[in-house]
Structure 1
Amino acid sequence: MKPRDADRLSKGVALSADEAAFAEVLEMIQTARQRALATVNAALVDLYWRVGEYISRKLETATWGEGVVEALAEYIARHHPGLTGFTRANLFRMRKFYETYRHDEKVAPLVRQLPWSHNLVILNRCKRPEEREFYLMMARRDGWSRRELERQLAGALFERVIMNPPQASAALTGTSALPRARSHAKPTVIRLL
């Protein structure tokens, strides 16, 4: 081997080792960013909870009316023009968020572990408490994006898994494997990734 080729080979190995080190540093940066985003999301959801609680208490005690909430939104916009997310509609969403989960000791801590956008999707699309709990737990456990959460809601995952659990096979239950005449059972939907 020529000295020149050996020199290139050693540089290639060195670059590869450098690239591995660079990738390791990049991984540290990405991990720290993800942790920071999770911390910021948790702080925002906690803030929205507290604002919702504050508004709820003021409205319950008749200290405030709905017009005062609108005035609050205008006040925030006037004093902090760059601050977004505190419109009248969003302030009422925060109130609904708090009022929906305030008595649920199991779910209240869980909502703080998901981004606000996930919480809004679940709050607006799920009517039953057990359905909300199911999607909160699944989104947290499986790390669903908002889009994936919406896809699972559209596919009625809760209804398919919880409301209509899969039946044991005929061989296991000892019943006939022949289909029943005029069955009105809903067909099972299987989604492949």
Structure 2
Amino acid sequence: MTELAPNEYSTTLNELKAQVHRARLQVQRAANNELLQLWWRIGDTILRRQTEQGWGAQVLTRLAEDLRAEFSTMKGFSRANLFYMRRFA
């Protein structure tokens, strides 16, 4: 096995670290984009149901409880956040 010269190793390590940093940033951006789209779709759905079916604030309370129960490891499904999502849409 051939050993790398110290400066070659250092250069290689720095290149690999930069690749990891770039990949992590891309993943974070993609995840944030998906969450924004999800929040908009949730808000849009709420807006449409309120317009079409006359949903009131009590429905949002129940939706918040049911979404938090189903997705207990996720944050962001409070009643207040559902109102924010509706406003966002």
Highest Rg: 1 or 2?
Answer: 1
Given candidates 62, 76, 84, the residue that maps to 1:85 is: 76
The amino acid of 1:30's aligned partner reads H
TM-score (norm 2): 0.90
Per the TM alignment, residue 62 of structure 1 is displaced from its structure 2 partner at its CA by 3.2
- Within the candidate set 60, 63, 71, 1:69 is matched to 60
Q: For 1:81-120, what per-residue CA distance to the aligned partner results, in whole angstroms no more than 9, with x for missing partners?
A: 222101000010000011xxxxxxxxxxxxxxxxxxxxxx
Quote the Cα distance in structure 1 between the aligned partners of 2:34 and 2:43: 14
Structure 2 unaligned residues grouped into runs of 5+: none
% of aligned pairs identical? 32
2:28 pairs with 1:37: yes
Q: 2:37 and 2:66 mapped to 1: Cα distance?
A: 21
1:41 and 1:82 mapped to 2: Cα distance? 17
Q: How far is the alpha carbon of 1:37 from its aligned partner?
A: 0.6
Aligned to 1:115: none
More helix by share: 2
- Aligned counterparts, 1:1-193, within 5 A: 14-98=5-89
Deviations 1:118-153 (A, max 9, x none): xxxxxxxxxxxxxxxxxxxxxxxxxxxxxxxxxxxx
Root mean square deviation, CA, Å: 1.6
CA distance in 2, matches of 1:48, 1:92: 11
Distance 2:32 2:86 in 1: 18
Structure 1's consecutive aligned runs of 4 or more residues displaced over 2 angstroms after TM superposition are none
One-letter code of the match for 1:51? I
The higher relative CO (CA closer than 8 Å, separation ≥ 6) is in: 2
TM-score for both structures, normalised by structure 1: 0.43
Aligned length: 87
